[in-house]
Protein backbone atom coordinates (compact mmCIF):
# COMPACT_ATOMS: atom_id res chain seq x y z
CA UNK A 1 0.00 0.00 0.00
CA UNK A 2 2.79 2.49 0.94
CA UNK A 3 4.55 1.68 -2.34
CA UNK A 4 1.37 2.64 -4.22
CA UNK A 5 1.17 5.97 -2.40
CA UNK A 6 4.86 6.67 -3.06
CA UNK A 7 4.40 5.94 -6.75
CA UNK A 8 1.43 8.27 -7.02
CA UNK A 9 3.23 11.12 -5.25
CA UNK A 10 6.01 10.93 -7.85
CA UNK A 11 3.56 11.15 -10.76
CA UNK A 12 4.55 13.63 -13.50
CA UNK A 13 2.63 16.92 -12.99
CA UNK A 14 -0.37 17.63 -15.15
CA UNK A 15 -2.79 20.52 -15.41
CA UNK A 16 -5.70 20.90 -13.01
CA UNK A 17 -9.02 22.63 -13.27
CA UNK A 18 -10.86 23.89 -10.23
CA UNK A 19 -13.93 24.37 -12.39
CA UNK A 20 -17.23 21.58 -11.97
CA UNK A 21 -27.76 16.93 -10.21
CA UNK A 22 -29.36 19.47 -9.02
CA UNK A 23 -31.16 17.40 -6.45
CA UNK A 24 -32.84 19.39 -3.72
CA UNK A 25 -31.35 19.17 -0.27
CA UNK A 26 -31.82 15.67 1.14
CA UNK A 27 -32.24 15.15 4.85
CA UNK A 28 -30.28 11.97 5.63
CA UNK A 29 -31.30 9.28 8.06
CA UNK A 30 -28.25 8.05 9.94
CA UNK A 31 -27.38 5.00 12.02
CA UNK A 32 -24.03 4.62 13.75
CA UNK A 33 -22.88 1.03 14.32
CA UNK A 34 -20.04 0.56 16.83
CA UNK A 35 -18.38 3.75 15.60
CA UNK A 36 -17.34 1.92 12.45
CA UNK A 37 -19.81 2.91 9.81
CA UNK A 38 -22.65 5.34 9.22
CA UNK A 39 -25.44 4.37 6.88
CA UNK A 40 -27.44 7.00 5.03
CA UNK A 41 -30.43 6.42 2.82
CA UNK A 42 -32.15 8.92 0.59
CA UNK A 43 -34.72 8.86 -2.15
CA UNK A 44 -33.33 10.05 -5.48
CA UNK A 45 -36.17 11.37 -7.63
CA UNK A 46 -35.88 10.88 -11.36
CA UNK A 47 -38.19 10.20 -14.24
CA UNK A 48 -39.99 7.91 -14.65
CA UNK A 49 -39.30 6.38 -11.19
CA UNK A 50 -37.88 7.21 -7.79
CA UNK A 51 -35.46 4.91 -6.00
CA UNK A 52 -33.69 4.71 -2.67
CA UNK A 53 -29.89 4.64 -2.54
CA UNK A 54 -27.98 3.61 0.59
CA UNK A 55 -24.53 4.96 1.40
CA UNK A 56 -22.22 3.26 3.90
CA UNK A 57 -19.42 5.39 5.39
CA UNK A 58 -16.45 3.35 6.63
CA UNK A 59 -14.60 5.00 9.50
CA UNK A 60 -11.94 2.37 10.18
CA UNK A 61 -10.29 2.19 6.72
CA UNK A 62 -7.42 4.56 7.49
CA UNK A 63 -5.15 2.97 4.89
CA UNK A 64 -7.79 3.45 2.19
CA UNK A 65 -8.40 7.02 3.32
CA UNK A 66 -4.66 7.77 3.22
CA UNK A 67 -4.26 6.26 -0.24
CA UNK A 68 -7.23 8.17 -1.63
CA UNK A 69 -6.09 11.44 -0.07
CA UNK A 70 -2.56 10.94 -1.42
CA UNK A 71 -3.91 10.52 -4.95
CA UNK A 72 -6.18 13.52 -4.59
CA UNK A 73 -3.39 15.66 -3.15
CA UNK A 74 -1.05 14.67 -5.97
CA UNK A 75 -3.73 15.45 -8.52
CA UNK A 76 -4.57 18.80 -6.95
CA UNK A 77 -1.12 20.13 -6.00
CA UNK A 78 0.66 19.19 -9.20
CA UNK A 79 -2.10 20.50 -11.44
CA UNK A 80 -2.88 23.86 -9.82
CA UNK A 81 0.38 25.62 -10.70
CA UNK A 82 -0.31 26.08 -14.45
CA UNK A 83 -3.76 27.46 -13.72
CA UNK A 84 -2.27 29.99 -11.30
CA UNK A 85 0.25 30.99 -13.95
CA UNK A 86 -2.54 31.65 -16.43
CA UNK A 87 -4.29 33.84 -13.87
CA UNK A 88 -1.09 35.81 -13.25
CA UNK A 89 -0.56 36.34 -16.96
CA UNK A 90 -4.13 37.40 -17.67
CA UNK A 91 -5.96 39.15 -14.83
CA UNK A 92 -9.21 39.01 -16.79
CA UNK A 93 -9.28 35.23 -16.18
CA UNK A 94 -10.08 34.61 -19.85
CA UNK A 95 -6.92 32.56 -20.37
CA UNK A 96 -7.54 30.55 -17.21
CA UNK A 97 -11.09 29.78 -18.24
CA UNK A 98 -9.96 28.83 -21.71
CA UNK A 99 -7.35 26.49 -20.30
CA UNK A 100 -9.92 25.05 -17.94
CA UNK A 101 -12.49 24.26 -20.60
CA UNK A 102 -10.00 22.90 -23.14
CA UNK A 103 -7.78 20.58 -21.10
CA UNK A 104 -9.46 19.77 -17.76
CA UNK A 105 -11.04 16.48 -18.77
CA UNK A 106 -8.13 15.35 -20.93
CA UNK A 107 -5.66 15.91 -18.09
CA UNK A 108 -7.89 13.93 -15.74
CA UNK A 109 -7.88 11.07 -18.25
CA UNK A 110 -4.10 11.25 -18.50
CA UNK A 111 -3.72 11.03 -14.73
CA UNK A 112 -6.03 8.04 -14.52
CA UNK A 113 -4.20 6.30 -17.36
CA UNK A 114 -1.09 5.97 -15.18
CA UNK A 115 -2.73 5.61 -11.78
CA UNK A 116 -4.37 2.50 -10.35
CA UNK A 117 -6.48 4.73 -8.13
CA UNK A 118 -8.80 6.78 -10.33
CA UNK A 119 -9.63 10.41 -9.60
CA UNK A 120 -12.52 12.58 -10.77
CA UNK A 121 -14.37 15.77 -9.80
CA UNK A 122 -18.07 16.35 -9.32
CA UNK A 123 -20.46 18.86 -7.76
CA UNK A 124 -24.11 19.39 -6.97
CA UNK A 125 -23.96 22.55 -9.07
CA UNK A 126 -21.71 21.31 -11.85
CA UNK A 127 -20.42 23.17 -14.89
CA UNK A 128 -19.31 20.42 -17.26
CA UNK A 129 -22.03 17.80 -17.92
CA UNK A 130 -19.31 15.14 -17.83
CA UNK A 131 -18.90 15.86 -14.12
CA UNK A 132 -22.55 15.17 -13.28
CA UNK A 133 -22.81 13.27 -9.96
CA UNK A 134 -24.41 9.89 -9.49
CA UNK A 135 -26.79 9.04 -6.63
CA UNK A 136 -24.01 8.16 -4.18
CA UNK A 137 -22.11 11.36 -5.02
CA UNK A 138 -25.25 13.39 -4.39
CA UNK A 139 -25.92 11.89 -0.96
CA UNK A 140 -22.31 12.36 0.15
CA UNK A 141 -22.20 15.96 -1.06
CA UNK A 142 -25.47 16.74 0.71
CA UNK A 143 -23.75 15.54 3.88
CA UNK A 144 -20.78 17.86 3.29
CA UNK A 145 -23.18 20.69 2.55
CA UNK A 146 -25.04 20.11 5.82
CA UNK A 147 -22.00 19.59 8.06
CA UNK A 148 -19.49 21.96 6.43
CA UNK A 149 -16.66 19.59 7.33
CA UNK A 150 -13.18 19.64 5.78
CA UNK A 151 -12.50 15.98 6.58
CA UNK A 152 -12.66 13.44 3.77
CA UNK A 153 -15.17 10.58 3.86
CA UNK A 154 -14.70 6.94 2.82
CA UNK A 155 -17.66 5.17 1.22
CA UNK A 156 -17.92 1.40 0.82
CA UNK A 157 -18.95 0.44 -2.72
CA UNK A 158 -19.53 -3.10 -4.12
CA UNK A 159 -16.08 -3.49 -5.74
CA UNK A 160 -14.19 -0.46 -4.47
CA UNK A 161 -13.97 2.31 -1.92
CA UNK A 162 -14.57 5.95 -2.73
CA UNK A 163 -12.66 8.65 -0.88
CA UNK A 164 -14.45 12.00 -1.07
CA UNK A 165 -12.52 15.20 -0.35
CA UNK A 166 -14.61 18.40 -0.15
CA UNK A 167 -13.69 21.59 -1.98
CA UNK A 168 -14.63 25.03 -0.67
CA UNK A 169 -14.64 28.33 -2.50
CA UNK A 170 -11.36 30.26 -2.43
CA UNK A 171 -10.82 33.88 -3.54
CA UNK A 172 -9.36 32.91 -6.94
CA UNK A 173 -12.43 30.76 -7.67
CA UNK A 174 -14.88 33.64 -7.38
CA UNK A 175 -14.01 35.21 -10.74
CA UNK A 176 -15.55 32.26 -12.60
CA UNK A 177 -17.89 30.81 -9.96
CA UNK A 178 -18.89 33.77 -7.78
CA UNK A 179 -21.76 36.22 -7.71
CA UNK A 180 -20.09 39.01 -9.71
CA UNK A 181 -18.73 37.40 -12.85
CA UNK A 182 -17.57 39.90 -15.48
CA UNK A 183 -19.68 40.30 -18.65
CA UNK A 184 -16.79 38.96 -20.75
CA UNK A 185 -16.55 35.76 -18.72
CA UNK A 186 -20.33 35.39 -18.69
CA UNK A 187 -20.32 35.36 -22.47
CA UNK A 188 -17.62 32.69 -22.55
CA UNK A 189 -19.51 30.58 -20.01
CA UNK A 190 -22.77 30.85 -21.90
CA UNK A 191 -21.07 29.83 -25.12
CA UNK A 192 -19.00 26.99 -23.64
CA UNK A 193 -21.40 25.68 -20.99
CA UNK A 194 -24.97 26.69 -21.94
CA UNK A 195 -26.40 24.68 -19.02
CA UNK A 196 -23.84 25.87 -16.46
CA UNK A 197 -25.03 25.75 -12.83
CA UNK A 198 -21.71 26.49 -11.11
CA UNK A 199 -22.13 30.20 -10.38
CA UNK A 200 -23.40 32.35 -7.53
CA UNK A 201 -21.05 30.96 -4.89
CA UNK A 202 -19.70 32.94 -1.94
CA UNK A 203 -16.26 32.74 -0.40
CA UNK A 204 -15.92 29.64 1.79
CA UNK A 205 -19.03 27.90 0.49
CA UNK A 206 -19.03 24.21 -0.36
CA UNK A 207 -18.14 23.87 -4.04
CA UNK A 208 -17.95 20.15 -4.76
CA UNK A 209 -15.66 17.15 -4.25
CA UNK A 210 -12.69 15.30 -5.67
CA UNK A 211 -13.30 11.55 -5.60
CA UNK A 212 -10.65 8.83 -5.53
CA UNK A 213 -11.76 5.30 -6.42
CA UNK A 214 -9.67 2.66 -4.65
CA UNK A 215 -10.02 -0.97 -5.72
CA UNK A 216 -10.78 -3.59 -3.05
For the CA atoms of 194, 119, 110, 99, what is the dihedral angle to 10 degrees?
A: 40
User: What are the residue ranges in the chain where pLDDT is below 70?
Assistant: 1-51, 99
What span, in angstroms and rounded, lies between the C-alpha atoms of 127 and 188? 13
pLDDT of residue 174: 92
CA distances, 59 to each of 1, 65, 161 (Å): 18, 9, 12
Q: Which residue, 19, 171, 13, 16, is CA-closest to 83? A: 16
pLDDT of residue 165: 98
pLDDT of residue 77: 76
* Residue-range domain boundaries for the chain: 2-215
pLDDT of residue 5: 37
What digits encode the pLDDT tens for the residues 71-93? 999 988 777 777 777 777 777 77
* E runs forming strands in 34-148: 37-45, 50-58, 118-122
In degrees and rounded to multiples of 5, residue 140 shows phi and psi of -65, -45
pLDDT of residue 63: 97
- Check: CB of residue 54 under 8 Å from CB of residue 40: yes
What span, in angstroms and rounded, lies between the C-alpha atoms of 161 and 182? 40
- What pTM was estimated for this model as a whole? 0.76
Measure the N-to-C terminal CA separation of the chain; round to a whole number of Å: 12
Amino acid sequence: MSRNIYTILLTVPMLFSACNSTTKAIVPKEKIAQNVEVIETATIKSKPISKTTSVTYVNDKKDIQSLGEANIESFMVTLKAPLKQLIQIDKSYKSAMGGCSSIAMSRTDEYNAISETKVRRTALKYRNPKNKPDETDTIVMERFLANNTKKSLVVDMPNSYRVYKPLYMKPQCLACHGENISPELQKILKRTYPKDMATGFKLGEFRGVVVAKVKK
